[in-house]
């Protein structure tokens, strides 16, 4: 594992879209599903995301993401169905347990919003190389320093993990037991965290020197070797997203004022 990345390398229309385009889509779909208290808005974007993940051939991975929240969703349905404070209309019972409409609806809305968020951002993550994402953002004006931090974190984490295993070996060699009761485990934890943090800081300092001598931060507008093209499709999609977002916000604010 060289980087912490869920990117699935395929050659599809979705993959070729500019990262920022996909980011706009994700934001728009999430914001809209939260602005409108209707299940249908969430379902609409959810179906679009699922369709796109089919096109991008990452449907399997997407299912994986969603199933991660399956348990939480069911739990929410049960709890809200039974105990939501505005519960009034009984829908069904299972033995002694009473389930009410208001709670079930409320929970469903919440679940749709969450799953929608996961699929929209999941689409972004599965079809975009992290480094391309960062390059794109920096091209659009994100500070190169922040961009560097984001990029390096993804590769540095696996490095830290492998450093951790060496550190565990070193401390075990000095008689540190890693099994045993809680206080032993706690002792082990500190003996592991200490060197990990310290050596990471030392390495971060050395790395900072290394990029400094390669001119990092010399100009505010660095060049980019990696080209992230912005096609007409990208511009079109972004325009649609912005348009829809503006309409939605205006509509919602109007409704709120009229209330």
Partner 1 sequence: MAQMVNERSIKIENLWFAYKSEEYVLKGISLTIDERPTAIVGQNGAGKTTFVKLLKALLKPTKGDIWIFGQNTKDTTAAKLAKTVGLVFQNPSDQIFKSKVLDEVMFGPLNVFKDKHKAYENSLRALEIVGLSDKKEEHPYDLTLSERKLLCLASVLAMEPEVIILDEPTIAQDRYSTKLISEIIQQLVSLRKFVITITHDMDFVLENFSRTIVFTDGVVISDGETEKVLSDDRALEKAHLEVPWLIKLARRIGVNYDEIKNLRV
Partner 2 sequence: MDTEVKKIVVENLSYTYPLSKIKALDNVSFSIFPGESVGIIGRNGAGKSTLCLALTGLVPSFFGGKRSGRVLIDGTDVLDIPKEKLVRKIGLVLQNPFSQISGAKMTVFEEVAFGLENVGLERDEILEKVEKILRRLDLWSKRDQNPFELSGGQLQRLAIASVLALEPEILVLDEPTSQLDPQGTTEVFEVLSELKKMGITIILVEHKFEKLVEHVDKLIFLHEGKLIGFSTPEEIFSMREIDEYNVGEPIYTSVCKKLNARKPNGKYPVHFEEAVEVLKGALKRHGTNG
Residues that bind partner 2 (CB under 8 A): 2-3, 129, 131, 134, 147-148, 151-152, 155-156, 159, 203, 206-219, 221-227
Choosing among partner 1, partner 2, none, which partner's interface includes residue 177 (Cβ < 5 to 8 Å by kind)? partner 1
Strand, helix or coil at 77?
A: helix
Residues in the chain: 259
Compute the least distance from the CB of residue 110 to partner 1, in Å: 44
Contacts of 27 (CB under 8 A, 6+ apart): 241, 245
Compute the least distance from the CB of residue 132 to partner 2, in Å: 9
Distance CA 108, CA 102 (A): 10
Compute the least distance from the CB of residue 209 to partner 1, in Å: 15
Question: Under the criterion CB under 8 A, does residue 69 sit at the interface with partner 1?
Answer: no
Contact 138, 122 (CB under 8 A): no
Q: Tell me which H or E stretch contains 90.
A: strand 90-94
Question: Under the criterion CB under 8 A, does residue 202 sit at the interface with partner 1?
Answer: yes
Q: Which is nearer to partner 2, 88 or 225 (CB)?
A: 225
Q: What is the DSSP letter of 92?
A: E
Q: Which is nearer to partner 1, 2 or 220 (CB)?
A: 2
Contact 171, 191 (CB under 8 A): yes
User: Residues in the site for partner 1, rule: CB under 8 A?
Assistant: 163, 166-167, 169-178, 190-191, 193-195, 198-199, 202-203
């Amino acid at each position: 594992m060289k980087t912490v990345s869920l990117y699935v390398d395929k050659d599809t229309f979705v993959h070729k879209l500019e990262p920022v385009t996909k980011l706009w889509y994700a934001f728009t779909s999430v914001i809209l599903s939260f602005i409108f208290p209707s299940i249908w808005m969430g379902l609409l974007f959810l179906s679009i995301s699922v369709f796109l993940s089919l096109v991008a051939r990452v449907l399997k991975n997407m299912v994986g993401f969603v199933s991660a929240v399956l348990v939480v969703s069911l739990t929410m349905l049960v709890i809200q169905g039974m105990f939501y404070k505005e519960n009034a209309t009984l829908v069904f019972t299972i033995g002694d347990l009473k389930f009410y409409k208001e709670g079930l609806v409320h929970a469903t809305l919440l679940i749709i919003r969450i799953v929608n968020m996961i699929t929209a951002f999941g689409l972004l993550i599965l079809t975009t190389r992290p480094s391309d994402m960062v390059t794109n953002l920096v091209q659009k004006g994100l500070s190169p320093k922040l961009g560097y931090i984001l990029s390096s974190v993804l590769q540095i984490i696996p490095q830290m993990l492998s450093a951790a295993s060496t550190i565990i070996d070193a401390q075990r060699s000095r008689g540190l037991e890693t099994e045993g009761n809680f206080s032993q485990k706690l002792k082990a934890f500190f003996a592991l965290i200490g060197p990990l943090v310290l050596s990471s800081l030392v390495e971060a300092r050395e790395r900072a020197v290394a990029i400094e001598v390669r001119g990092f931060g010399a100009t505010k507008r660095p060049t980019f070797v990696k080209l992230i093209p912005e096609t007409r499709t990208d511009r079109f999609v972004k325009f649609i997203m912005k348009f829809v977002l503006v309409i939605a916000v205006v509509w919602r604010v109007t409704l709120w004022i009229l209330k």
